Structure 1
Amino acid sequence: MKKLISLLFVNFLSFYILDALFENIRFLNIESVFIMGIVFALVNMTLKPILKLLSLPINIITLGLFSLVVNAAVLKIAFSLSPNAFIASFGTAFLASIVLSFVNSLIKKIIGTDD
């Protein structure tokens, strides 16, 4: 339970930071950031493993670089499922997914959660 709460906290804080960093990412209110954190965690746990499995041949050919596209697709899907959360394009999702991974790692290191 503690791990789930820390994961959600990291997601909330990360999306708040993304909102501040990218002008093409918008949340209408703080509740939308919380909902986005929950939706992103659910999409990450359910849909991402399926997409990674389906894209395994392409991922092998590109030496793992296609996983960046999968991460961007997961982020774009999570934004489309979240009310009052907007992302402009797939390109923005691509860049935001890279920044999100760094921000998540930094926050996890600061608060001391283990993965």
Structure 2
Amino acid sequence: MKSLIIKLLISALVLLLGDFLMDSVTISPYYYAIILAVILGVLNSFAKPILKILAFPLTILTLGLFSFVISACIILLADGLMGTHFETTGFWSALGFSLLISILNTIVDMLMPDRE
């Protein structure tokens, strides 16, 4: 349970860093980053696998690049669910935000030791 809370807080910090680095993304007020991290976790657990199955032919045709579009769709879904507390200016900003969050999460995963 403790590691889940730590991962949630780290994800919220990564989202805030992404908000800081991109002008086209807004998380306001900042404590909503924790709620956004939970919503993105739920969407990535339930909606993303369904979208991946439905878009499998397109993913094959684009040699996997369509998975970035799926990630942007997840960000846009979270944008719709969060209302005015999380806003992106459109598809391209959602795509850039999802790429930035993926890169930042990869860096954090490399820096954090495995404590399982």
Q: Same fold, TM exceeding 0.5?
A: yes
Aligned equivalent of 1:95: 96
Partners of 1:76 and 1:36 in 2: CA distance: 12
TM-score by length of 1: 0.90
Partners of 2:82 and 2:91 in 1: CA distance: 16
1:28 maps onto 2:34 in alignment: no
Opposite residue 50 of structure 2, the aligned amino acid is: I
Offset at residue 20 of structure 1 (A): 0.3
Counterparts in 2 of 1:113 and 1:100: CA distance versus 1, 3 Å: farther
Opposite residue 105 of structure 2, the aligned amino acid is: N
1:105 maps onto 2:103 in alignment: no
Identity rate of aligned residues, in percent? 29
Aligned equivalent of 1:4: 4
Contact 1:6 1:113 in 2 (8 A): no
Partners of 1:3 and 1:73 in 2: CA distance: 28
1:61 maps onto 2:57 in alignment: no
Helix, strand or coil: the match of 1:30? coil
Counterparts in 2 of 1:113 and 1:25: CA distance versus 1, 3 Å: farther
Report 1:13-52 matches (<5 A).
13-52=13-52
Gaps of 5+ in 1: none
Partners of 1:3 and 1:25 in 2: CA distance: 28
Gaps of 5+ in 2: none
Counterparts in 2 of 1:53 and 1:35: CA distance versus 1, 3 Å: same
Q: How many residues align?
A: 114
Q: Deviations over 1:6-52 (max 9, x none)?
A: 43123201111111001111111122111111111111111000000
Opposite residue 5 of structure 2, the aligned amino acid is: I
Q: Deviations over 1:49-103 (max 9, x none)?
A: 0000100011011111100100111111112212411111110001111111000
Contact 1:10 1:108 in 2 (8 A): no
Partners of 1:58 and 1:111 in 2: CA distance: 34
Helix, strand or coil: the match of 1:86? strand
